[in-house]
Amino acid sequence: MIFFILIGCSRYDYTIHKPKVIYSKPNKKALSLLLKRQLGKKYIWAEEGPDSFDCSGLTYYCYGSMNMTIPRVAREQFMVGKKISCKELQYGDLIFFDTSKKFRGKITHVGIYIGDGKFEHASNEKDGVKISSLKSKYYSSRILGCRRYFAQSYEKGPDGRFLPPKLTEYKPQKVDPESFGKEGRYYIQIGSYSQKPQDNYLKTLEALGYKYKILKRNDFYKLLIGPFNSKEDAKKILPEIKKGFNPSAFLVDGLSLESGVI
């Protein structure tokens, strides 16, 4: 009897409710209006609006209100859309994070990019729906990937609503939770400095989505991007990184180890 009374008195409905269509087709202007209306609303786990949200509930609601059917939870939202890098982010793209206390490489959070290095998200019970910055070291160091749902044309699902683009170039990988983020020993060195690199330079790296490490060696500082789990992983991204930095700053092959130069 007590069990049924508790259910009857519950303040929240945890069943999934498909958002009402407000706009006939996904577009950035519609998304902008939707996001502005949600700012300041409460964070409640398993809610997808219209009065309160969890992180993936906000993305589910906003795209659903634009007549698009997307998965309800963040890890499944990551499995659709166009794969993009942090440097390619445009208004409306989704950014996925691991915000767990111990970084394990598993998606636990999602936000919507709104330009100028910022994103809107249902943050937590204290802050609710708010705008945060990717220039924050906390968020930039926890990004696991980005996806784009806007497209030139869309397929329609069984319910008649639009579908996000199918994910390309995605291959699920097994991750050892105990070693993720720890076993990486390979870094790309992008400079040696007589003084510690300036904060505005480091913030630029963070905004571009690069993780970095500063090592002091005698009278100079080494600035490293990484870590990467293997030489191969580091070499894949090396050409892209070299485009934005002075080539003379790199080592012969652009790679270094904490324990010494390769």
| pLDDT tens per residue across span 223-246 | 888 777 777 777 777 777 776 666
- Indicate the range of 25-29, 53-57, 230-234 predicted with least confidence: 230-234
Question: How many separate domains does the chain show?
Answer: 2
Task: Provide CB contacts within 8 A for 250, sequence distance 6+.
Answer: 188, 189, 190, 242
Four-point Cα dihedral 58, 64, 70, 75, nearest 10: 0
Q: In this structure, what CATH number is given to the domain that contains residue 30?
A: 3.90.1720.10
Of these residues, 62, 86, 121, 146, which one is catalytic?
121
**What is the chain's alpha carbon radius of gyration, rounded to the nearest angstrom?**
21
**How confident is the model at residue 251, as a pLDDT?**
60
Contact 213, 224 (CB under 8 A): yes
**196 and 94 in one domain?**
no
129 and 194: one domain?
no
Domain enclosing residue 26, as ranges: 8-148
Taking all residues of the chain, what is their mean pLDDT, rounded to a whole number?
80
**Which residue out of 55, 62, 86, 146 is catalytically annotated?**
55
User: The whole model's pTM is what?
Assistant: 0.62
| CA-CA-CA-CA dihedral for 252, 257, 204, 27, to nearest 10 | 100
Nearest to 140 by CA among 86, 94, 83: 86
CATH of the domain at 234: 3.30.70.1070
**143-158 pLDDT per residue, tens:** 999 999 999 999 999 9
In the block, tokens 């030489």 appear at 231
Catalytic residue among 62, 86, 109, 146: 109
Mean pLDDT calculated for residue range 91-103: 92
Q: Examine the residue annotation and report whether 121 is marked as an active-site residue of this protein.
A: yes
Last residue of a domain, one of 126, 148, 170: 148
- Rounded CA separation 33/22 (Å): 11
Do 208 and 113 lie in one domain? The reply is no
* 17 given a catalytic annotation: no
